[in-house]
A and B are shown apart, each in its own frame.
Chain A
């Protein structure tokens, strides 16, 4: 009898030990699966409405058409509040105001920029993930109405930042990403919601971004409609077509 008790106890201990041993690897696999699940979008064309609230200005609503590809290039043709064109061609960010024929150039032209990728978890797509990041799986939690989310805490060792990531446990789609500094202060917060299945890809029709910037806390809510995914974007979309006589203003960027 005593012997069988010992065997049961030993078995439990072995299971716990193995679970501990393989848990981190399983969690990393899960995290990689989640990153992969969010990489489905290669290009995007949609109508957008943006609600931008900065500490400096009153809330503004922008509407227009947004085209982007996964190399980081994007173009926004705003129709409201006025006709404006925003172009990021991986060299600089151009913002052209048609009415005033004014072109702002942000960043240094002919400089390699870090561009925002369509995949919201692109910063973790490094082959040296373990050298820069330390990932901790924090289990599942209930969110919304009886849905479960995986929770991850990822420490960026190099930059001393913490990423808190929540993904839907069923679809692996990102729900929120919060970046905090070492003092626990939120620096950036992104919320992804109203997911719709388009071409077998879950796409968030609403993205909320809160950021602590030089202008104070900025909140940007973008709502997407008439969404076209993964089509071949003609190269000329990202060509600069601003009038030669446009008044240019250069702005520093990092």
Chain B
């Protein structure tokens, strides 16, 4: 018996859904969606930004915020505020939490990332302290990349550095940051030099080169003086500095080779000396102070010093202590600085029977009488126990101008200068009168006083300066005067 087919195949024609039905379904879906949205919409009456201390553009537009917002809308507000923080340089600050209370107040909790501490690496000692001081004012402030980068540029320029890198590091588990400032020193050297006219040695060009390494540096310079068709001075100097752990100090070793043609006033003749002088020293800098302690051993050939056509060989061992003070680093106007230098040295040489002592003191300051007028006093004193002309100092040098072609040397000299400087063209040309006075023991061992004076003009260029003096003996007149020029620069 055949199996009974319980299914009957019926052909049912499938009718296409009409466009109207499609439309109805779409409308229904939209209505359901809108209904669902309304179910999850949040009513906001106003917004409050909590924990923000910086000016935000968005803050103003949030004052009048009102209406129904979806979660996505509210999140978008948070993202917008975070973006604004970042755009303004506050790259570590962000919106931490968004909450709407039952009164419809949207509370936007901002987490501002503050700088809690700063550490400077790559610099040591005084330099480290100074760099730290330039960043210290940021402690407690909200981290701002732009402001810090700007300050880093200042530090880079001020300290002649290769780079100043700033890294914000999360402070423990907080959102605040610990600022790591990494200083990279320049490995490129600088040439410096100048040309001047010295009353004693004539036209004197000078050229130097300073090359820094990671923890050391080399300083080389040479100088030549030319007057009356003769080289009267030739000098070469090299020093290698090895910075000690805190970088405030440096041990240095070097050598100086020199030739000088000197003039006796009392004997009306010249003598010449050629010297080689190795030196070992230690330099220490602390805030405004520089201390320099060095030992030198000098071997010299001295010709025609006492007896004509005779050469005397002198060996000199000397210990010197220099102490300098200058507030120049801290000032914006270097012309207003106060500089003091004290020096004392003692040694033994073949020319002296006993141990000799040399001391000197120099000071300069400036006081503004008005914006474009300042008064500049200078004092200098030199004394040595040695009775040898060889150890004495010329009197009529740049500290006592107005007495050209005079060569008396002194074992004890004191000079004072008072200059008035008027700024003729701002930041460019300065000029004014000066008087200098000297009270000294001359080569004949006689106390003498002399007063000179004149006019000084200074031209300041980008990295260079030119000083022009016209000076004369005040007991005579300007017609008896002479010209002195000094120029210098760093390039």
Contacts and interface: CB of A to CB of B under 8 A. Distances in A.
A181 B332 contact: no
Interface string B355-373: 0000000000000111110
Interface residues of A, number: 44
Interface string A132-170: 000000000001110000000000000111000000000
Contacts, number: 98
Contacts of A252: 89, 146
A108 B137 contact: no
B70 interface: no
A189 B330 CA distance: 12
Contact of B428 (A51, A185, A193): A51
B87 A108 contact: yes
B427 A51 contact: yes
Contacts of B150: 214, 254
B133 A191 contact: no
A212 interface: yes
B426 interface: yes
B428 A254 contact: no
B57 A59 contact: no
A182 interface: yes
A136 to B, nearest CB: 20
A181 B136 contact: yes
A55 B157 contact: yes
A186 B331 contact: yes
B158 interface: yes
B461 interface: yes
Contacts of B32: none
Nearest to A184: B330
Interface in A185-238: 185-186, 188-189, 191, 193-194, 206, 208, 210-217, 219, 221, 223
A245 interface: no
A111 interface: yes
B87 A160 contact: no
A53 interface: yes
Given A58-B461, A161-B137, A182-B137, A214 B428 contact: no
B28 interface: no
A6 interface: no
B129 interface: yes
B462 A212 contact: no
Interface string A89-114: 00000000000000000001011100
Contact of A185 (B130, B139, B333): B130
A160 B137 contact: yes
A210 B428 CA distance: 15
Given A51-B428, A213-B154, A215-B157, A254 B89 contact: yes
Given A252-B146, A254-B147, A212 B332 contact: yes
B134 A185 contact: yes
B57 A183 contact: no
Contacts of B154: 212-214, 216
A108 B88 contact: yes
A58 B428 CA distance: 10
A112 B55 contact: yes
A182 B129 CA distance: 11
B153 interface: yes
A59 B88 contact: no
B144 interface: yes
Interface string B150-175: 11011001100000000000000000
Contacts of B331: 186
30 contacts: A55-B157, A59-B428, A59-B462, A108-B57, A111-B55, A111-B57, A159-B137, A160-B136, A160-B139, A181-B137, A182-B136, A183-B330, A185-B130, A185-B329, A186-B331, A186-B332, A188-B332, A189-B333, A194-B371, A208-B371, A210-B333, A211-B332, A212-B332, A213-B154, A214-B153, A215-B153, A215-B157, A216-B158, A221-B427, A223-B426
* 10 tightest A-B CB contacts, nearest first: A183-B133, A214-B153, A210-B332, A193-B371, A221-B426, A51-B426, A53-B427, A186-B332, A216-B157, A185-B330
Interface of B: 55, 57, 87-89, 129-130, 133-134, 136-137, 139, 144, 146-147, 150-151, 153-154, 157-158, 329-333, 368-372, 425-428, 461-462
Interface of A: 51, 53, 55, 57-59, 108, 110-112, 143-145, 159-161, 180-186, 188-189, 191, 193-194, 206, 208, 210-217, 219, 221, 223, 252-254
